[in-house]
Structures are given as structure tokens and as C-alpha cells.
Amino acid sequence: MTFPWHLYLMAAVYIFAGIMHFIKPKAYLRIMPRYIPHPKLMVSLSGIAEILLGIGLCIPAFKDLSIYGIIAMLAVFLLVHFYMLSGKKASAGIPKWILVLRLPLQLGLMYWAYWYLQF
């Protein structure tokens, strides 16, 4: 079965994002909420999850499960987005207007994933 090219684009985006967790872990550690234990482990686990879910999108038997996993992962990542809005240090120097725009973007990414359940 062949999927639309944009599903493969989504897969590539998540695989790339996951790899970046290992190339630039400090960037992810800076935005990790302080209340989450073992931040280095969580950055690694979230990177692995993004890579595996991205690969899963390309395998027909795992596509739908990967979509649900991506939606759940993005929902959990909302915690990071809200945390970054909580103060200047938490924002990692990113302007507040960009942080606010990331919230609907996150919801859009969830819908983008959900939309592929029809294929």
C-alpha cells in the first residue's frame, strides 16, 4: 500500500525531530519543565518515541497505532508549551507571541495526524 507523499513528509519531520534530541539535547533540556523527573532520560525517551512513531507511520500495520501515539505524544508535549509560558527563564528566550502561537500549531499537528486515519 502506498500512502500519500505528505504522510511520508510527516514521518520525516518526526524522525528528524527525534534525531535532534540526540544531536542537540541541551536545547530540549532547557525547555523541560522542572517538575518532570530525570530530564535527560525524558529527552532521550521522547526522541526515541518520535523516531519510532515516525518510522511506524511508513509501515501499514503500524500506521494507525503510530498516529494515536503521535496524538498522545503531542498532548503530553503541551505541558512543555504551557510551562514555557510560565516565566522568562522557562521561555528559553523565545518571545511570548511565538510561544502563544505554538499552542494552536500543536493542535494543528494533532489534527494533521488524525486526518491520516482515513487512509
pLDDT tens per residue across span 7-42 = 999 999 999 999 999 999 999 999 999 999 999 999
This prediction has a pTM of: 0.93
pLDDT above 90 for 72: yes
Q: What is the pLDDT of residue 1?
A: 63
Q: If you average pLDDT over residues 81-100, what whole number do you get?
A: 94
Are 26 and 41 in contact by the 8 Å Cβ rule? The answer is: no
Query: What are the CA-CA distances from residue 73 to residues 3, 47, 59, 85 (Å)?
Result: 22, 11, 19, 19
The pLDDT of residue 51 is 98
What is the predicted pLDDT for the residue at 81?
95
Residue 101, pLDDT score: 97
Please give the pLDDT value at position 119: 84
d(CA 108, CA 67): 14
The percentage of residues in the chain with a pLDDT greater than 90, rounded to a whole number, is 93
**Which pLDDT score is estimated for 26?**
96
